[in-house]
Amino acid sequence: MTTPMNTINNRLPIGVFDSGVGGLTVLRALRELLPGEDFRYLGDTARLPYGTKSRESVVRYALQSSRHLVAQGVKLLVVACNTATAAALPDLAEAYPGIPVVGVVRPGAKAGCALNTNGRIAVVATESTVQGGAYQAAIRELCPNMRIEAAACSLFVALAEEGWTEGPLVEGIVKRYLDPLFARFDDQPPTSLVLGCTHFPMLAGAIAKVAGEEVTVIDSAVTTAQEVRELLVRHGLGHPEPDRLDAKTYFFATDGRERFARVGSIFLKRAIDPAEVTIVDL
């Protein structure tokens, strides 16, 4: 049965899910932009990474993760995973027609186009996201004449999870990825660079430093949070006390409570006690 959006209780939390901890960069951006909102975050850590799974499996996992959040009561769903966004967004929208569903791909592509000044966009992501072409397709839909080049930057994930986000070593690795990517544009470098993985905002400072002042780095976590805020306003779903100080965030994982808390603390930039993480079986 469809629930009209105007009947959703605006005091309900926002549901966010990912295959692991990368989506916590999205949660962090959401908490900064919407401090009065409650959140429920689910990391499907038992089955990560989604990028190596078939589309059918990713859709099934996404529906199971979202079902857990919806069953608890949420007013909006955020798919804080590039693979799940690319594979399952239409299925999620169909499954929950009364709840707004936001993915991470289109907001990043939209900002990449809007902030571009020379018709050239670069995308950095994981190998599966680059090969799947979700960002390329979204950018072409929004700005058909844009020149797009994408590169898989697999080491960025490991660096982010280790908390190695700045310094000469990190900048050297970033340069090894960006130099050949930018060289593909031949005549002039891109003026916008989209971070197409939720881990990559952790390295945004180093990436921006290597890319140079002429390149605008698009943080897909921030752009997704902005999209969520716009949807809340459009549908009248914002919390009636947006400046309250007692907003709460609840964490769920499908495996590895201690690792989720340890690595998640790096991504969220605030300590997560393992006792805050509830293990669930989807």
Residue 209 inside a domain? The answer is: yes
Please give the chain's pLDDT, 282 residues, in tens. 344 565 789 999 999 999 999 999 999 999 999 999 999 999 999 999 998 899 999 999 999 999 999 999 999 999 999 999 999 999 999 999 999 999 999 999 999 999 999 999 999 999 989 999 999 999 999 999 999 999 999 999 999 999 999 999 999 999 999 999 999 998 899 999 999 999 999 999 999 999 999 999 999 999 999 999 999 999 999 999 999 999 999 999 999 999 999 999 999 999 999 999 999 999
Residue 26 inside a domain? The answer is: yes
Pairing status of strand 249-253 against strand 39-43? parallel
Our count of domains for the chain comes to 2
Of 220, 238, 258, the last residue of a domain is: 220
Q: Is 142 helix (H, G, I), strand (E, B) or coil?
A: helix
Residue 236 inside a domain? The answer is: yes
Annotated binding-site members: 18-19, 50-51, 82-83, 198-199
Residue 66 inside a domain? The answer is: yes
Residue numbers annotated as active site: 81, 197
Residue 265 inside a domain? The answer is: yes
**Boundaries of domain holding 257:** 14-103+222-279
Is the pTM value of this prediction over 0.85? Answer: yes
What CATH number is attached to the domain comprising 77? Answer: 3.40.50.1860
**122 and 34: one domain?**
no
Residue 84 inside a domain? The answer is: yes
How far, in Å, CA of 105 to CA of 80, rounded? 9
**87 and 119: one domain?**
no
Residue 55 inside a domain? The answer is: yes
- Asked if residue 140 lies in contact with residue 178, where contact means CB atoms within 8 angstroms, the answer is no
Pairing status of strand 39-43 against strand 14-18? parallel
Annotated binding-site members for substrate: 18-19, 50-51, 82-83, 198-199
Cα–chain-centroid distance for residue 115? Answer: 19
**170 and 230: one domain?**
no
**197 and 118: one domain?**
yes
Per-residue model confidence as pLDDT tens digits over 226-257: 999 999 999 999 999 999 999 999 999 999 99
